[in-house]
A and B are shown apart, each in its own frame.
Chain A
Amino acid sequence: MQDLAYLFHGFAVVLTPFNFGLMLLGIVLGVIIGVLPGLGAANGIAILLPLTFTMPPTSAIIMLSCIYWGALFGGAIASILFNIPGEPWSVATTFDGYPLAQQGRAGEALTTSFTSSFVGAFFAVVMITFLAPIIARFALRFGPAEYFSVYLLTFCSFVGMGKGSPAKILASMMIGFALSTVGIDIVTGQLRMTFGLVSLLKGFDFLIAVIGLFGIGEILLSMEEGLAFSGATARINPKVVLETWKKLPRYWLTFLRSTVIGIWMGVTPGGATPASFMSYGAAKKFSKDGDKFGTGVVEGLVAPETAAHAAGTSALLPMITLGIPGSPTAAVLLGGLLIWGLQPGPLLFQEKPDFVWGLIASMYLGNVVGLAVVLSLVPAFAAILRIPFAIIAPVIVVICAIGAYTVNNSMHDIWFMLGFGVVGYVFKKLNYPMAPLVLALVLGNAAESSFRQAMLSSQGSLGILFSNGLVGGITTLALVMLFWPLISKGLRGVLPSRAPKTPAEQPVD
């Protein structure tokens, strides 16, 4: 109960006019940063960090964390409207978000995504408020083997996603893995797959691949159909927000599952990206509309967005309580704490309650204000699609180029992006699924290195993946997910068959 008192004190801190103003400013800047692919929340915050030197630390963290919330909201916009994910965790948002926009339902898609983000973030904050210490201890139990089991779970919950030729699905996923190995092998420090080229030293950042495959590839595809975006017919309806809200409660189970996945991934810290993929995969497996995922299903948008934001928010928890960043953005904020003269870590709660509770209060208010800001802009965003294709297409290409460049400040990446664009177009035409490729590229490297770290500690024994309840449990869960189609078929075979069989068997007894 003392926590509650602190929290209300925190609200009082945030609600001073100066801090509230900074909060609004942060949200708006964040949305802009989130919309521009490549700039990203981590970069955005890093860029603005030095400006905060002259502020009190609490005001500074309020502004910076609000940039983060704004960027989380904004990241969905380009994903849904143009199929260009600005952040790793928005990739899964494109799967159903972009098809929705193409059907002229951009307003609905945006509203769904913003609302889901809010729900995920809100429950994560509630969790931080009341359970911070317990959960922080849980995070400590994650070593390399546990990380690997989490990645394994992500892959397994995603298997069976694509439709079409299994050979193509496999090829696509493996190409993603192969690309993720280019560059420095962090376990041995060796260069690999660079073919002696300096421009390949840094590897393929998945953002460049995604901007090319999805963004440029999509432009080429739309071009085929003539000079038009399919979403251009979008009707702009100011009531779209309310109408969408009426539909959303029926997905409560997806909200709940995704929030749990998100919070868990954010704390451990697996991060928002695996959370969004895992949640999407799980939603598809358990939904009765599972087969329609990827064609513009609202539920397929709810799942990744809720999970990504629950994860993004709870990723700040290990930062405060342990001094480890749960995400790149948290890493920059962590640097900020040091610069402002604060020491992140277990003692921060006791030494600077003003700061910690101010931050937590700003998470509540920042998300509420952020939601209000972005929702009020939904019609405006949806209207972007009505800009004639001949104007928007070159602008998208330019923005893709800027996005590709800013990831690593490298000109070569713009060429790679263009190459990926062609690959994306060809693959789409030939029905190679894109999602497995991107998933493998995003998580391949992390999965491989955590596996090899685990192997180093166990000296090459696979037994480490079952060496304690936690890692064993996750690994088993992963295997269950992998064979879920078989298992569910098996269950269905056993359960209903029992009813008719029993009478038939009775005579034998």
Chain B
Amino acid sequence: MSSIRRRALGVALGVVALAAVASAPVAAWEPTKPIQFIVPAGTGGGADQMARFIQGVVSKHKLTKEPIIVVNESGGAGAQGFLDVKGAKGDPNTIIITLSNLFTTPLATGAPFNWKDFTPVAMLALDEFVLWVNSSEPYKTPTEYINAVKAKPNTFKMGGTGSKQEDQIITAEIEQQTGAKFIYIPLKGGGDVAVQLVGNHINSSVNNPIEAVAQWRAGSLRPLCVFDSKRMDYPAKVTQTTSWHDIPTCKESGLDVEYLMLRGIFMPGGVSQDQVNFYIDLLKKVRETPEWKDFTEKAAFNQSFMTGPEFVKWLTDAETKHKSLMEKAGFLAKK
């Protein structure tokens, strides 16, 4: 009911505005219907949290006239959501948030879509990955741990989310770089993985910071290194003694593996630049809110923001990287 009132108000304002800018150049595009925000993952996961966070920030600060509606389409490792957006060609009222399954799902399952079927809007942030072990284990650096794994191949268990997705790709990359052999155990979700590690059912994980931070602060887990080219930007203390910034990169500690997960926004193919610009603008406004700063600090995101050709180049590189990694690890779908 409130949205009807809002709509009426919007119409009234629109009439006034139209009269005011009658002589101005063509007004910028704006959505005419509620915006469908597709999440190709289940409720409660990282992508879902971010989508709902954006929805909340937008409605709190009234950044759009039309409401945003979050829709989860998680079937087939996200393929369902991606295929739906692919089918919604030319629809400017639909956007989708991506995680690594933008690349991994089509490669691993052969589901018929590719990021080029969509219009890239913006990279919102990159999610970090950290190598974690149980704090009762003696290992203090990645090298110590990897050497222990090498000494006893196929006994150390690496837990991760799903199969042939980001966590297993990182594991495969570590194996390819160092020659160590893990047993990879695919589990349901990131929170599960962290708890299995606390319970010593697995030996290590590559959880995102947000998935493991609670256990770290409680002293049950120990971070060894972060899979990024530079340290994380957050110098505030998270535990008594350590901040995110204090965690070394894997590269500087002798494990040359880098992986970041895309949190980006896409539109269906066949939309106009005007329409893309509306969303770029919207996302920029979201990033300026104090809530966003708080949220990214809690989740220790890498705050890169990209749009346009720069973003497209990043995507092209990322796809090539995923393809070669997954090919080497034998994760590609059988044709």
Contacts and interface: CB of A to CB of B under 8 A. Distances in A.
A contacting B, Cβ–Cβ less than 8 Å:
yes
Interface of A: 42-43, 46-47, 49-54, 139-144, 183-191, 198, 201-203, 318, 322-325, 328, 330-332, 334-335, 338-339, 341, 343-347, 408-410, 449, 453, 456-457, 459
Contact of A457 (B56, B72, B157, B191): B157
B75 A410 contact: yes
B76 A201 contact: yes
Given A52-B56, A330-B44, A346-B218, 5 more contacts: A53-B60, A184-B109, A198-B111, A203-B75, A410-B75
A119 to B, nearest CB: 28
B188 interface: yes
A453 B185 contact: yes
B214 A346 contact: yes
A339 B295 contact: yes
B165 interface: yes
Interface string B74-86: 1111011001100
Contact of A324 (B42, B56, B192): B192
B49 to A, nearest CB: 4
B199 interface: yes
A198 to B, nearest CB: 6
Given A186-B188, A189-B164, A457-B157, A345 B44 contact: no
A49 B42 CA distance: 15
Contact of B183 (A143, A330, A343, A456): A456
A189 B108 CA distance: 7
Contact of B218 (A42, A142, A339, A345): A345
A345 B212 CA distance: 10
B210 interface: yes
Contact of B71 (A140, A330, A409, A456): A409
Q: Which of B48, B109, B168, B201 has the most CB of A within 10 A?
A: B201
Given A46-B43, A324-B195, A346-B218, A189 B162 contact: yes
A49 B75 contact: no
A183 B294 CA distance: 38
A338 B43 contact: no
Contact of B195 (A50, A188, A322, A459): A322
B220 to A, nearest CB: 8
A215 to B, nearest CB: 22
A487 B103 CA distance: 54
A199 to B, nearest CB: 9
B266 interface: no
A191 B298 contact: no
B145 interface: no
A334 B154 contact: no
Given A50-B55, A410-B75, A347 B163 contact: no
24 contacts: A42-B43, A50-B56, A53-B56, A53-B291, A144-B196, A186-B162, A188-B163, A189-B331, A190-B108, A190-B109, A201-B79, A323-B191, A323-B215, A325-B44, A328-B42, A331-B191, A339-B52, A339-B53, A346-B218, A347-B214, A347-B218, A408-B75, A409-B71, A410-B73
Contacts of A189: 77, 108-109, 162-165, 168, 186, 331
Interface string B44-60: 11001100110111011
B217 interface: yes
Given A189-B109, A328-B43, A457-B183, A46 B218 contact: no
B110 interface: yes
Contacts of B109: 184, 189-191, 201
Interface string B294-316: 11001100000000000000000
Nearest to B219: A346
Contacts of A42: 43-44
A338 B57 contact: no
B213 interface: yes
Contacts of B186: 186-187, 189, 449, 453
Contacts of A410: 73, 75, 80
B179 interface: no
Interface in B62-112: 70-77, 79-80, 83-84, 108-112
B18 interface: no
A186 B164 CA distance: 9
Nearest to B104: A189
A343 B71 CA distance: 25
Contacts of A50: 52, 55-56, 59-60
A435 B84 CA distance: 34
B260 interface: no
A46 B191 contact: no
B57 to A, nearest CB: 7
Contacts of A334: 44, 191
B180 interface: no
Contacts of A325: 44, 189, 191
B57 A53 contact: yes
Contact of A143 (B52, B80, B199): B199
Most buried by B among A43, A190, A323, A345: A323
A345 B217 CA distance: 9
A103 B157 CA distance: 55
4 smallest CB-CB distances across A and B, nearest first, come from A202-B75, A345-B214, A331-B44, A201-B76
B324 to A, nearest CB: 18
A80 B164 CA distance: 42
B198 interface: yes
B70 A46 contact: yes
Given A331-B43, A335-B44, A338-B210, A46 B52 contact: yes
A106 to B, nearest CB: 32
A261 B328 CA distance: 47
B111 A201 contact: yes
B8 interface: no
Contacts of A335: 43-44, 48-49, 52
A53 B292 CA distance: 12
A483 to B, nearest CB: 29
B44 A140 contact: no
B76 A191 contact: yes
Interface in B186-234: 186-189, 191-192, 194-196, 198-199, 201-202, 210, 213-215, 217-218, 220
A42 B214 CA distance: 23
A252 B127 CA distance: 51
A204 B274 CA distance: 40
Contacts of A142: 199
Contacts of B163: 185-189
Contacts of A46: 43-44, 48, 52, 70, 72
B175 to A, nearest CB: 15
A53 B199 contact: no
B205 to A, nearest CB: 13
A423 to B, nearest CB: 21
Nearest to B53: A339
